[in-house]
Amino acid sequence: MSQSDARFTIASPTLSASIDPLGAELWSLTDAQGRELMTDADPRWWTGHAPLLFPFVGRSRGDIYRLDGQDYPMPQHGFARRKPFAVVAQSGDSLLLRLEADEETRAAYPFDFRLDMGFVLDGATLRMTATVANRGEAPMPFSFGYHPAFAWPLPYGGAAEDHRILFDQPEPAAIRKVGDEPGLIARESVPSPVEGDTLVPTHVMFEGDALIWDDLGSRSLTWGAPGHPHLKIDFPDTPWLGLWQKPGAHYLCVEPWAGMADLVGFDGDVWAKQGIMALLPGDSRSFRMDVTLVSP
């Protein structure tokens, strides 16, 4: 393992990953030839790479959530992505980072949590595991999501317009989109853009923000152009999915979620928010996401 410019690098014979301890954010994923599989982070579009979404996925209405009659501030996608994580363990092919509750987090989220984020490179697979633990004495409401931005097009010669998402099963169910309150989810569904098990994304699709699957059967998909090396993405612990980009940018965010933003007009307690999970005192829950480079 190496550290450069405050980022850590882990490697296998096939892949190399760079992780920033600020937010435990996956910053880069390259193949053995140094070809970048993630976003170019062009500031004209979006400078993020792969933020972690905790303690809530998406936006709370007015950037405020209500818990037991009290309002608390909460930025979109939570605060973990803006907090420094401590190193717990490291080796040449693995890294474990940790975020624990502090005075600042308790002012916005009055729970004694611990969030561990593990990265392991195993050949052509990057395994990421987030583990949320409740170290307090009361049930803890939370959600969690991944938000990695993968290169569009991938660096293997396939044209951008030929790239597609191939789900592990047909996905005929209607999807959700962002509504008329910024960042909140429309209450009405729209027809799925998936044909069978295949989505051919276009930049136009994202002019209204993210595409959101809240009735998803798949827990695995592939991203790339037919006949070229592609990425297989597995997310066994997250039932929902968002796809997002700024139209015209050179990335597609593939975002497995356990939770999502408030619905338009939502004004209830956080326990009534869609996708909120209850973590009992002393319990923990893990969310895995694997990214594998596959040759055709």
Query: Residue 233 sits in which domain range?
Result: 2-160+225-294
Burial (CB count within 10 angstroms: exposed 0-12, middle 13-18, buried 19+), residue 116: buried
Residue 7 forms part of a structural domain: yes
On whether residue 191 sits in a domain, the answer given is no
Residues of the chain with pLDDT under 50: 1-4
For residue 4, the model assigns a pLDDT of 46
Could you tell me if residue 255 is inside a domain? yes
Helices (H), the chain: 103-108
Q: Reduced to 3 states, what is the DSSP secondary structure of residue 83?
A: coil
Residue 251 within a domain:
yes
Identify the CATH number of the domain in which residue 60 sits.
2.70.98.10
Domain annotation covers residue 110: yes
> Any bridge partners for residue 127, and if so which?
120, 290
- Listed in sequence order, the residues at least 6 apart from 234 whose beta carbon sits closer than 8 Å to its beta carbon are 219, 220, 288, 289, 290, 292
Residue 279's beta-bridge partner residues?
A: 140
Residue 288 tokens, joined: 């895995």
Q: Classify residue 187: in a domain, yes or no.
A: no
Answer yes or no: are the C-beta atoms of 38 and 116 closer than 8 Å: no
How many domains, the chain? 1
How much is the pLDDT for 296? 84
Over residues 220-260, the pLDDT tens digits come to 999 999 999 999 999 999 999 999 999 999 999 999 999 99
Question: Which tokens hold the place of 3?
Answer: 């550290």
Residue 213: inside a domain, yes or no? Answer: no
- Asked if the structure places residue 136 within a domain, the reply is yes
What is the residue-wise DSSP string for 137-199?
SS-EEE-EEE--EEESS-TTS--GGG-EEEESS---S-BEEB-SSTTPBPSS-B----BTTEE
Residue with tokens 């009735």: 215
